[in-house]
């Protein structure tokens, strides 16, 4: 009984440690935007929020880096397998590919007659590879370039007849090949549509933030503040104006305009963030599905599932959101209240 209990506890701890790396765990770590974003100066809520965001960002970056390194190591370990798969997809035999690679390596640094000899060998080998892959020789390709329209049409008809004969010789193999190609195409298309859908949502939130920055109201207030700051700067440059009422009036006017700007923009930004977070939370399941589809597509194209640990895409989506969340004070540039001559910057 005691041994069973210890085993159970160890299993729970193992599961918990694995759960710490998943996107859902990081969603639970995200702090909510603090209140009083347009409050002046430093305060405990702001400091606590910034510190919390920094902690989550560090952990998230560490997890993404760990996964990235794992993917890179996995690809490196399977480099030979991927190369062999690529060879097989071309229809060229591994023997010919290896011969070409050996020739490329041997010909480096060759000059004169030796270089010419290597060039001829590579040309002959390339011809064999092309015939294996397409059943067309390089000589035929050269002749085709010089043919007139009628000649090219006749060649195309002859080639089509040859291919038709190959199909008729083994119709089942042709049907199986076509069925596999269609299956692969549908898989790639399914992956593309899901990736495009999720990507479009991410772009949408970025555009909403950009539109917030460039709205007519925002630009008008930015211009107004800039003009007031320029006037204040000119006043500071004048002699014997340190305690002038104009400086005090301009300083307080700028401060009030900055408060109004923050109060206008920040709630809108927080509204976008709220919807953005809801999307990221809801997108985690589709991202898992996209990763599985991407793995299947990669396996078809490279012979290897590139990402063996699901959750990376969800973590990257959370990282993008976290970047926006960390910027909630973006509209708070409020100058301190005027308290006499504070000196020109």
Q: Does residue 313 contact residue 289 with C-beta atoms inside 8 Å?
A: no
Residue 241: the pLDDT is: 61
Please give the Cα distance from 157 to 161 (Å, whole number). Answer: 6
Nearest to 275 by CA among 209, 195, 180, 343: 209
Instruction: Using DSSP, state whether 237 is helix, strand or coil.
Output: helix
Please give the Cα distance from 153 to 84 (Å, whole number). Answer: 36
* Structural tokens at position 236: 């500071």
Residue 312: the pLDDT is: 94
Give the phi and the psi of residue 307 in degrees, each rounded to 5.
-110, 110
Residue 338: the pLDDT is: 59
Quick: pLDDT tens for 5-36: 444 444 444 443 444 479 999 999 999 998 88
Q: Quick one: the chain helix, strand, coil %, rounded to 5?
A: 80, 0, 20
Residue 3: the pLDDT is: 47
Beta-carbon count within 10 A of 143 CB = 12
Please give the Cα distance from 248 to 17 (Å, whole number). Answer: 58
Q: Does residue 67 contact residue 309 with C-beta atoms inside 8 Å?
A: yes
Please give the Cα distance from 341 to 79 (Å, whole number). Answer: 69
Please give the Cα distance from 227 to 255 (Å, whole number). Answer: 13
Residue 250: the pLDDT is: 87
- In angstroms, the first-to-last Cα distance of the chain is 74
Residue 1: the pLDDT is: 46
Give the phi and the psi of residue 312 in degrees, each rounded to 5.
-60, -45
Chain position carrying tokens 């340190």: 242
Please give the Cα distance from 109 to 311 (Å, whole number). Answer: 47
Chain position carrying tokens 């012979």: 303
Residue 177: the pLDDT is: 64
Low-confidence ranges of the chain (pLDDT < 70): 1-20, 41-42, 88, 91, 132-135, 137, 144, 155, 157, 159-160, 162-171, 173-178, 240-243, 337-345
Residue 20: the pLDDT is: 46
Instruction: Using DSSP, state whether 272 is helix, strand or coil.
Output: helix
If you count them, how many residues does the chain have? 345
Q: Does residue 266 contact residue 332 with C-beta atoms inside 8 Å?
A: yes
* Structural tokens at position 59: 């952990």
């Amino acid at each position: 009984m005691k041994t069973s209990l210890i085993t159970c506890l160890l299993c729970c701890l193992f599961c918990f440690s694995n759960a710490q790396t998943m996107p859902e765990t990081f969603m639970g770590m995200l702090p909510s935007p603090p209140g009083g974003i347009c409050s002046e100066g430093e305060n405990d809520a702001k400091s606590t929020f910034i510190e919390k965001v920094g902690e989550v960002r560090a952990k998230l970056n560490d997890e993404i880096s760990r996964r990235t390194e794992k993917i890179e190591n996995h690809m490196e370990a399977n480099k030979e397998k991927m190369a062999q798969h690529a060879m097989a997809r071309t229809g060229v035999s591994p023997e010919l590919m290896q011969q070409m690679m050996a020739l490329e390596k041997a010909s480096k640094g060759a000059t004169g007659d030796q270089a010419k000899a290597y060039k001829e060998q590579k040309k002959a080998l390339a011809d064999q590879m092309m015939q294996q892959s397409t059943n067309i020789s390089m000589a035929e390709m050269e002749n085709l370039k010089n043919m007139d329209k009628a000649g090219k049409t006749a060649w195309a008809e002859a080639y089509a007849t040859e291919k038709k004969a190959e199909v008729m010789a083994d119709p089942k193999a042709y049907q199986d090949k076509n069925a596999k190609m269609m299956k692969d195409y549908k898989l790639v298309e399914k992956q593309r549509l899901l990736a495009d859908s999720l990507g479009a949502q991410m772009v949408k939130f970025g555009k909403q933030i950009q539109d917030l920055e460039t709205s007519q109201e925002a630009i008008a207030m930015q211009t107004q503040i800039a003009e007031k700051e320029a006037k204040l700067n000119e006043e500071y440059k004048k002699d014997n104006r340190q305690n002038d009422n104009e400086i005090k009036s301009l300083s307080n006017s700028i401060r009030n305009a900055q408060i109004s700007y923050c109060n206008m923009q920040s709630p809108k930004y927080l509204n976008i963030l709220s919807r953005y977070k809801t999307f990221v939370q809801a997108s985690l399941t589709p991202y898992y599905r996209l990763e599985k589809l991407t793995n299947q597509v990669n396996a078809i194209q490279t012979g290897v599932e590139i990402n063996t640990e699901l959750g990376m895409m969800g973590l990257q989506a959370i990282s993008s959101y976290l970047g926006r969340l960390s910027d909630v004070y973006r509209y708070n540039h409020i100058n301190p209240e005027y308290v006499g001559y504070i000196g020109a910057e």
